Amino acid sequence: MKFRTLHSSTTVILGSLLVIASICLGACRKPAAAPFDTTLYKQLIEKWRSDRLAGLKKEDGWLSLVGLFWLNEGPNKFGSNSSNAVVLPKDKAPGLAGTLKLDQGHVKLEAQSGAQITIDGKPVTSTELKDDNDDHGATVFKLGTLIMNIVKRGERIGVRIKDTESRTRQEFKGLDYFPIDPKWRVEARFEPYQPAKLIPITNVLGMTDNESSPGALAFDIDGKTYRIDPITEKGETDYFVMIADETTGGETYGAGRYLYVSPPDGNGKVIVDFNKAYSPPCAFTNFATCPLPPRQNHLPFRVEAGEKSRGH
């Protein structure tokens, strides 16, 4: 922001008056809270929506996901031949592109001669692959338009396959939302768990893992208090929240919705912005392993905010 430049002597005089005035005002009353800028808020939510859509549509976004195969102990051949343990899309890979050898939780890639598999743009013939639980992230390997990486869910290890030319990505029509409404930007009270509470979270495949919740988020809607449990994710500072409500399975996706919230401020306040609630990856692909909202996060009212399911 730019300010008009004043003559130097005038600036000194005005500066002194402002200091005196601010001292007097501070002694007499607390400064008034800044009014909520609805116009700016709506602009920020529109920007969030734009970023959300861009993330979905990028080359390795969820719209490009075309396969997920669980590996067996030992060698797992992969390629477009239907006899392989991991079957790649036709016309996207040779009949046999290589082997993924699973050995007690570790996966080694052995590329078939001439398969042209790359990592970071460099050809590879044999290498160890890190999964998506590794501190440095999963090793991403590519074959033409295919993008692949190893995933670990509980004790199961698999390979996730994306295609930059997937039909879902190419034909995607966009996202639909409830109207932006500041009333769904809710102030919550953080009620810490001492120690953090382990919460069983089940995914769409029926796998259950215990996740850590730092505390409950308590908020009031229409005079009633509700509590939901966020969880902490590896490498994330914001809290991850999974919810279901009375729109779930109707206007919104049947497996619930997600949102992130910032950690509590010094007064234990947390803003839960339901205008940023979004559909999980499973709304766009059958090959995601989306976690489901825990029972305590099922809200007994309609959250008419955030992302709708496709077709609404």
Digit-coded pLDDT (tens) for 35-67:
889 999 999 999 999 999 999 999 999 999 999
* Token pair listed for 224: 């009633």
* 123 cis-preceded (ω within 30 degrees of 0): no
pLDDT tens track for 60-114 = 999 999 999 999 999 999 999 999 999 999 999 999 999 999 999 999 999 999 9
pLDDT tens track for 240-274 = 999 999 999 999 999 999 999 999 999 999 999 99
DSSP 230: -
Q: Which of 122, 124, 126, 152 is nearest to 137 (CA)?
A: 152
For residue 34, the model assigns a pLDDT of 72
Sheet (strand 118-119) strand order: 65-70, 156-163, 146-153, 141-143, 118-119, 122-123
SS3 79: strand
List Cβ neighbours of 91 (8 Å cut-off, separation of 6 or more): 80
As a whole number of angstroms, the distance between CA 119 and CA 97 comes to 15
For residue 17, the model assigns a pLDDT of 38
SS3 23: helix
Q: How far is CA 60 from CA 9, 204, 205, in A?
A: 60, 21, 22
Is a pLDDT exceeding 70 seen at residue 27? no
Buried b (16+ CB within 10 A) or exposed e, 170-209: eebeebebbebeeebbbebbbeeeeeebebebebeeeeee
The phi and psi torsions of 64 (rounded to 5 degrees) equal -90, -5
For residue 29, the model assigns a pLDDT of 55
As a whole number of angstroms, the distance between CA 149 and CA 2 comes to 49
Domains and CATH numbers, the chain: 62-171 (2.60.200.20), 175-297 (no CATH)
Beta strands 141-143; 126-129: pairing state: unpaired
pLDDT tens track for 178-237 = 999 999 999 999 999 999 999 999 999 999 999 999 999 999 999 999 999 999 998 899
The alpha carbons of the chain give a radius of gyration, in whole angstroms, of 25
For residue 258, the model assigns a pLDDT of 98
Is a pLDDT exceeding 80 seen at residue 28? no
β-pair partners for 197: 213
List Cβ neighbours of 131 (8 Å cut-off, separation of 6 or more): 107, 138, 149, 150, 151, 152, 157
Please report which confidence band the pLDDT of residue 23 belongs to, taking 50, 70 and 90 as the band edges: very low
For residue 4, the model assigns a pLDDT of 26
Identity (one letter) of the amino acid at 118?
T
DSSP 274: G
For residue 32, the model assigns a pLDDT of 61
Beta strands 224-228; 239-243: pairing state: unpaired
As a whole number of angstroms, the distance between CA 38 and CA 182 comes to 7
Taking all residues of the chain, what is their mean pLDDT, rounded to a whole number? 90
The proportion of the chain whose per-residue pLDDT surpasses 70, expressed as a percent, equals 89
Please report which confidence band the pLDDT of residue 312 belongs to, taking 50, 70 and 90 as the band edges: very low
